Structure 1
Amino acid sequence: MALEVVTDMDGEKGTYQRGALSAAERLAAIIESSDDAIIGKTLDGIITDWNAGAERIFGYSSSEIVGASILTLIPEDRRSEEDEIIARLKKGERVEHFETLRQRKDGSLIHISLTASPIKAADGQVIGASKIARDITARKQTETLLRQQSERLQTLYRVASEISRDLDLERIVQSVTDIGTELSGAKFGAFFYNVTDAAGESYQLYTLSGAAREAFNFGMPRNTAVFEPTFAGEGVIRSDDIRKDPRYGHSAPHYGMPAGHLPVVSYLAVPVTSVSGEVLGGLFFAHDEPGKFTAEAENLVSAIAAQTAVAMDNARLHKAAQQEIEQRKRAEESKELLLHELKHRVKNTLATIQAMAMQTFRQAPRAEIDTFDARLFALSEAHDLLTQRDWDVVDVMHIVQRAIAPFEAQAARRFEIKGPEVQISGERALQLAMVLHELATNAVKYGALSNLTGTVTIAWERQNGDNVDFLKLRWVETGGPEVSSPDRKGFGSRMISRALRGEGCGAEFDFRPEGLCVQLRFTFP
């Protein structure tokens, strides 16, 4: 560190004006007014010079310290530094910006940056030393604060990374308890947290760190004046000695810590609160000696508690989702079982009806029996299709293809089918299947499928009228025998009309000479 001696300067002319003081006097004045401590000493470590800056920094006046050993300013554990400095000075070396700790008159320690220069006689022999000491305590405190903040951010990042990857609630809370106990300097720690089971019942669990579980044999904490602020989410409690807290020792039956309780003197409790405001639990840390928890520890644990709340919320949402998935899976399995049972019962019922009909119609013409069997089969096919589609909705295309499949094989693909994808209910699907069966049966007997050249076109579209959605389906026969309007309605026509009666449904028959045209209308219930 260099000292520069400068006299007054005329700012306009830029020339130096020499004062009446000698160079030595001017140098002495500058040294005396310096903010740095400028100290002279012998090679034996005896202080010979002491400026005002040294008095301000170290607290000793010149009369108190001149003639004393330089070791007065050096803490015992750093006195070896002085031997190293003296050794280098004797070699004529300069020691620059050596950062260390020195001791004030009141015993407090300060950070200084030290520069020591050898003082040489005319013959070049080192006869003493001058030291310039600058107080860097403020800078060191800033550096320490920045380092602590950096370490804190790194710690929180590590904690967040560790617990955010886990969705198991028990592992999360145990990990947080262990980390919090370590970082706070606690002798032991605990985390009491609330959980809700699949039945919706709430209860409390806990984790421990730093103590065996068998040592924790006094049950869950009660809602005493000490614990209540934490479980209510009112804020952090930090006490150098919880036994001296005015809230301590007023609750029966123990009026303090119960017998066998782990020793608690220093106490730190932080609530873990969800973003929704729900108190999820509380982190508790203790030490058997007083004054063990600092404000920094409190801030760190509070930040960890905030990270914990997020991780716990995620774990709870994951668990709830898993429970919902499991419930849906069980419901789907039950539904599947019910559908198979329903399918089985419907098949049995239809088989029973068929057996009864065979007995009843034993004397009837074979054609009538075959017709009844065919209608029963069409109904069975429709039920099969609905069972495959969970009895919910089914596409019109599937119904049409399933209904005409037996006739299409006989008619060598003489059907033209066209229409958009439209979903209809199970009730409408059964109606449509039966209607198509009757129309196809009639076409085989009397219409377009009764010869080798006729064709049938089945087309549909979804329309809206009078604010009601409905399905419009057209059955058009061409190329068959000439058609005329019948004198009376047959069973098939009556069945179709009755099946589509009411609720906006209906059927219109047009017996054109070139072929039957039927227009069907199904509303969407």
Structure 2
Amino acid sequence: MSSSDVTSLPLSQVEREPTDSWLDIERLLDLFPGAFYICDHEGRIVRYNQGAADLWGRRPRLNDPSERFGGAVRLYRPDGSLLPHGQHPMAETLRTGAPVRNAEIVIERPDRTRILALVNINPLFNAAGAITGAINCFRDITEHRQQQEQVYNEALRSHELLSLLPAAIYMTDAQGRITFYNEAAANLWGCRPELGKSEFCGSWKLFWPDGTPLPHDECPMAMALKEKRPIRGLDAVAERPDGTRVPFLPYPTPLFDASGHLVGAVNVLVDMTERLHAEEAARRLALIVESSDDAIISTDLDGIVTSWNGGAERLYGYTAAEAIGRPVMILIPDDRPDEEPSILERIRRGERVDHYETVRRCKDGRLVDVSLTVSPIHDGAGRIIGASKIARNITDRRQAEEQQALLLREMNHRIKNLFALAIGIVSLSGRAAGAETVTDAIRERLAALARAHELTLHAAAGDGMRSTTLRALIEAILEPYREASAPGRLALDGTDLPIGGPALTGIALLMHEFATNAAKYGALSSPTGRITIRWALDGDRVTILWREHGGPPIQHPPAEEGFGSSLARSTVRQLGGALAREWSREGLVMRLSIPAERLGA
């Protein structure tokens, strides 16, 4: 029979005189491993087993009014204070009818020894529902508590070591009251909580990472004690008394004794302030890299691409998915196979490559001019593990530099031609009679040259000048070469076609080059020389025919192409046209053909 069988017996049966069967029941109850006893409704002990007598250290008299509520000599609370007889848990149950669950009480024996007992009391009722008594099942937990205290004391002995650790560490008992914290924890909290009173965490206030208040009894330490398991992966924020906040990552772990009973918990707090600052800095750097117009990539020391920003995608045409994991040699032109190995070798030595101008190949095969800066990438231990490369597209700059060089050469060439023209004008005018006539001729020709040059400059500057006609342009360019005494030297014949935009500049440059060469080597260098210029609209093209007569005989075409010829060829190509030269003995014949739509009027 179990103790529950005894509690179900009517008290009248329990109080009956012993019979043989009842004696058999009592012998069985004495074999029951636990200690229990039964009181009537007035608290008198009517039955108890051997286990109860052993815990009391005596055998109280049954039904004795002086032996009420229990057989202990004296009772104490767990904190050592005396518990009055009338406040015995048995007395409370008989008075209120409420059961008692897992109450701790200290029993003093006649020999003055004390044990700590865990008490569970159930009331007994008759058929009418009136309390007829109660049964108390209790057990000695002294050894168990000593084991708990031993575990706890061992933990306390480790406090000195924990105090020296840089990590914030604190401990609580099973109820969550703080029993220890080290200096690092006090620094993190910004205060020193009172031991044995502060619960779960020593922080002034707690918050979730999103700023929502976090009650102390819902914090990770409280969860670990409640659920009796370690809690991981929950960030929190501690607010100090001065209002500053510290983000931290807790690692609460419950502590158990040898019997598996919870005795407390230990918590390690990791200050996340520096890590969050580093992560924020990394996020900002990533945003800067991604939004940069420059191509920024990284490779390992074998030249394999490990990162690729939006600027690299825009410059080279490869997406990050297409480029990462592939050799960076996909960007190197075939005529530069040794360039990348040389750069990586310098990176391995810890060197930096600054503003190295080179050429890279895009996904579509185009070649782009870039200015390259390459720096070593170090790991946390300072070892070089890769290379960071920043490439800036300098194609426009390179083209501008080439254009500038071309313009400077052209300016130099024009100045030389102007001097040649001036000398030619003086020579031509010198054949006129009289010094005053020579002076006037020179003045008029130089003025005409200035007007033609001004027309060319306005067209080149694109300053909104209205379109002119092809005849007006040719006349302005050739005006310096006209002579009053030889009106037939220059003959112009053609439809009055409008011209403007880039074609104005291009044709002005070509006419200027043709006239300059004629003045230096061709028909205009001879007193008897003549030039005929005809133009016409032929379908969708305009053809200009330049024919020289009466100049010095041409023995053979020039052996080398000068700058003027190179400039003329480039200008014709820009106009989308074609230029053919015929070097006959009578004189040079040139045929210029350009699309009519390119006149740009």
TM-score by length of 2: 0.29
Larger Rg: 2
- Structure with a larger share of its residues in helix: 1
Structure number with higher relative contact order (C-alpha < 8 Å, ≥ 6 residues apart): 1
Using the size of structure 1 for normalisation, the TM-score is 0.32
